[in-house]
């Protein structure tokens, strides 16, 4: 069973699937549409002339509906059917094929892609769901390549997102992989106004990943504002070790002068993009103002794998701050062991870390959180932190004496999240200390506890609930969640 002291459930009624029901559009046979539209128009006119709704309100209504509801709405009358073909209905398109669609001889979605793709502006492409049926993966690859070829001919997009191709790439042969890379490269080369590009869990080989970055620079560098490269390279070290000039082939961050947000795994590519830029700072210091303001770095490697990197230095980060005066860094670290070596490798002086997420996948990671706090203070990370999230797997009775001094040193910190495993005491003392000396700069606090015992054995339960109520009355947005697994 589970017990929760406070919980907040938030649902987003507007979080809809923009294209999730293309398959239902098969019923839009032209003769059927005309017949239904004619009959429904007469009925609508009798009931208040809904068919005469102006085009702008009609398009706004369409924009709030899921694709299947848009289809149904388009069948009401002739006027609404015409509204279905308006640009606002088709500016966002999600290419995701279900198993029933992939099992068909022809893909019904392509009919609408051919007809409306010139109106596309925001496209999300999702790889096939995990399946043991290699035929479905093969069919997806064929339709995906065709889809990109249509976009290459017909569209100028503002954003494109490639997501979850990991399963696809592990179940195709080299020839199909090369065809996919070629189709993506041709598509990116045809686009000249992209503002957002995301590759999320699309692990290319090293050479293809570098080629795709080069194509982006050649065709969209002036417009590109947001770039995400999450699990973008499958095994970069294998190719890098065979190419002594691998680093020289990489772009620099300054090759994207309009980039505002970069989300990237810590990798050979990222490291050398920064290092090469630092080395060339004298040649770029007179270029136009660079606007990169958010750098999100993600790492989920064990320490032995990190031995392949030489590591960035505080000097590299000083150059970064000079080039990007408004830069804020969000650092998401997931570690398995040797925790201290990991955070000392990544967190350095001159890094303006505004958000830090620090978690472990092993309950025996084995570095006291006080050591992390000492390192953050020595690097002056506390001067920049706005958000801090910790997985703390080491139960202790001294939460308040460990946490509070660091929180008091973080004058900008707004959000603090703490996950603890099987703690036995200390939460009530921590909350009580905040009643006496509350960290007023904090706006939100979440404490999440996984407890493998009976909830009646959890110490300080009554006091915790009492302190929570008092802290909320004092203006602190705080919740403590207790998850019991007995």
User: For the segment 271-296, what is each residue's pLDDT rounded down to a tens digit?
Assistant: 989 988 877 665 555 556 789 999 99
pLDDT band for 450, please (50, 70, 90 cuts).
Answer: confident
Structure confidence at residue 350 (pLDDT): 96
Q: Is the pLDDT of residue 31 over 50?
A: no
* Averaged pLDDT for residues 381-393: 91
Q: What does the block give as tokens for 23?
A: 């398959």
Task: Give the burial string for 276-315 (b: 16+ CB within 10 Å, else e).
Answer: bbbeeeeebeeeeebbbebbbbbbebeeeebeebeebeee
Q: Which residues contact 431 (CB under 8 A, 6 or more apart)?
A: 463, 464, 467, 468, 471, 480
Q: Phi and psi (nearest 5°) for 480? A: -125, 125
Q: Where are the beta strands (DSSP E) in 409-476?
A: 415-421, 444-451
How far is Cα 50 from Cα 57, in angstroms, rounded to an integer?
A: 11
Q: What is the mean pLDDT of residues 310-337?
A: 91
Indicate whether 444 pLDDT > 60: yes
Residues shown for the chain: 486
Q: How far apart are CA 452 and CA 458, in angstroms?
A: 10
Least confident of 71-85, 176-190, 289-303: 71-85
Confidence of residue 114 (pLDDT cuts 50, 70, 90): very high
Q: Domain 386-485 class?
A: alpha beta
pLDDT at residue 304 in the model: 55
Calculate the average pLDDT of the chain. Answer: 81
Does residue 141 surpass a pLDDT of 80? yes
Q: pLDDT tens digit string along 242-275?
A: 565 666 778 888 899 999 999 999 988 999 899 8
pLDDT value at 34 more than 50: no
Q: Does 386-485 match 49-89 at the fold level?
A: no
Average the pLDDT over each of 80-94, 112-126, 150-164, 330-344 and give the range with the smallest value: 80-94
In the chain, domain spans = 49-89, 386-485
Look at residue 300 in the predicted model and tell me its pLDDT: 76
* pTM for the predicted model, two decimal places: 0.82
116 compared with 133, residue with greater pLDDT: 116
Out of 1.20.1280, 2.60.40, 2.40.50, 3.40.50, the CATH code matching 49-89 is 1.20.1280
428 pLDDT higher than 80: yes
**Picking from 226-230, 232-236, 300-304, which range would have the lowest pLDDT averaged per residue?**
300-304
Give the residue-averaged pLDDT of 106-127.
91
pLDDT of residue 334: 86
pLDDT score at 38: 52
Residue 398: per-residue pLDDT: 72
Q: State residue 1's pLDDT score.
A: 42
DSSP string of 6-62, one letter each residue: -------TT---SSTTGGGGGG--HHHHHHHHHHHHHHHHHTT-GGG--HHHHHHHH
The pLDDT value recorded for residue 9 is 26
């Amino acid at each position: 069973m589970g017990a929760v002291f406070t919980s907040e459930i938030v649902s987003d009624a507007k979080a809809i699937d923009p294209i999730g029901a293309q398959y239902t559009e098969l019923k839009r046979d032209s003769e059927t549409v005309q017949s239904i539209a004619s009959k429904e128009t007469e009925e609508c006119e009798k009931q208040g002339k809904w068919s005469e709704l102006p085009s702008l309100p009609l398009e706004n209504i369409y924009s709030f509906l899921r694709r299947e509801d848009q289809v149904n709405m388009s069948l009401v009358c002739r006027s609404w059917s015409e509204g279905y073909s308006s640009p606002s209905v088709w500016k966002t398109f999600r290419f995701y094929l279900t198993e029933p669609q992939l099992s068909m001889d022809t893909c019904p979605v392509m009919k609408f892609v051919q007809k409306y793709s010139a109106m596309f502006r925001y496209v999300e492409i999702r790889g096939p769901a995990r399946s043991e049926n290699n035929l479905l993966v093969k069919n997806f690859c064929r339709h995906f390549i065709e889809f990109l070829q249509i976009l290459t001919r017909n569209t100028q997009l503002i954003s494109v997102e490639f997501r979850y191709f990991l399963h696809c790439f592990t179940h195709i042969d080299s020839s199909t992989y090369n065809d996919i890379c070629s189709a993506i490269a041709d598509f990116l080369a045809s686009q000249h106004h992209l503002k957002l590009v995301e590759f999320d869990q699309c692990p290319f080989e090293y050479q293809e990943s570098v080629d795709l970055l080069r194509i982006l620079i050649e065709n969209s560098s002036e417009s590109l504002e947001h770039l995400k490269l999450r699990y973008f390279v499958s095994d970069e070290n294998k190719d890098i070790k065979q190419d002594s000039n691998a680093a020289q082939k990489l772009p620099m961050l300054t090759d994207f002068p309009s980039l505002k947000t970069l989300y990237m795994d810590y990798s050979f590519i990222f490291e050398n993009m920064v290092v090469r830029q630092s080395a060339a700072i004298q040649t770029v210091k007179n270029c136009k103002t660079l606007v990169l303001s958010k750098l999100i770095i993600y790492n989920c490697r064990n320490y032995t794998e990190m031995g392949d990197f030489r590591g960035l230095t505080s000097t590299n980060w000083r150059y970064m701050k000079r080039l990007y005066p408004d830069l804020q860094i969000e650092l998401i670290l997931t570690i398995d062991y040797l925790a201290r070596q990991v955070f000392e490798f990544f967190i350095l002086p001159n890094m303006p870390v505004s958000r830090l997420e620090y978690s472990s996948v092993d309950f025996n990671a084995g570095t006291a959180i006080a050591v992390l706090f000492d390192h953050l203070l020595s690097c002056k990370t506390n001067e920049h932190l706005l958000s801090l999230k910790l997985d703390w797997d080491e139960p202790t009775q001294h939460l308040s004496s460990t946490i509070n001094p660091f929180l008091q040193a973080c004058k900008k910190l707004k959000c603090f999240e703490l996950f603890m495993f099987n703690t036995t005491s200390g939460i009530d003392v921590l909350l009580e200390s905040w009643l006496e000396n509350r960290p007023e700069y904090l706006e939100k606090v979440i404490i999440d506890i996984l407890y493998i015992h009976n909830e009646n054995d959890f110490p300080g339960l009554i006091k915790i609930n009492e302190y929570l109520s008092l802290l909320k009355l004092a203006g602190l947005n705080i919740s403590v969640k207790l998850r019991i697994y007995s």
